[in-house]
Each structure stands twice: as C-alpha cells, then as structure tokens.
C-alpha cells in the first residue's frame, strides 16, 4: 500500500511539474522507481511467506495508479 501512495504522489508531481512533452517519459520512470521500491520494501521484511503475492500486489497497484495518471496526462493539453 505504501508503494501505491508513493506512486500516486509522484504521479501528481509529474503531472504538475513536468513539461507536457515529457510527462509520459517521467511517468514511465516513476513506474520503474515504484518497482524498485516494491522490491526494497518486500526484501527488507523478515517474513518470507507470501513474498510473491505481496510483491505482485505492490507492483500491480502502482502500475494501475500510473495507468490512470497516464490517461490524465494524455487528456491534459
């Protein structure tokens, strides 16, 4: 869930601060950072059970957040 929040905050920052021509590139870099953050957070936990499920849900949630942000970026002038 923390990865989703970070992805949403980063997506809003990209939509506000990035040049319109570079928004989609910045959002793809945000997705890459979200995936790395997911790995770091999940590997830092001492619990081994459910690693793949937790990693998948973190990454998929961030992906969906950024898909929505990408659609918004395409709709903005």
Span 43-75, pLDDT tens digits:
998 888 999 999 999 999 999 999 999 999 999
Q: Tell me the per-residue pLDDT of 14-31, one tens digit each, with 9 for 90 and over.
A: 999 999 999 999 999 999
Q: Which of 19, 31, 2 is nearest to 73 (CA)?
A: 19
Measured CA to CA, the distance from residue 34 to residue 75 in angstroms comes to 23
Residues 6+ positions from 38 with CB-CB distance below 8 Å: 3, 55, 58, 59, 62
């Amino acid at each position: 869930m923390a990865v989703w929040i970070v992805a949403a905050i980063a997506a809003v920052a990209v939509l506000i601060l990035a040049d319109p021509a570079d928004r989609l590139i910045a959002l793809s870099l945000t997705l890459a950072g979200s995936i790395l953050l997911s790995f770091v957070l999940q590997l830092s936990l001492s619990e081994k059970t459910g690693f793949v499920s937790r990693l998948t849900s973190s990454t998929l949630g961030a992906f969906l957040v950024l898909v929505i942000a990408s659609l918004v970026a395409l709709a903005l002038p």
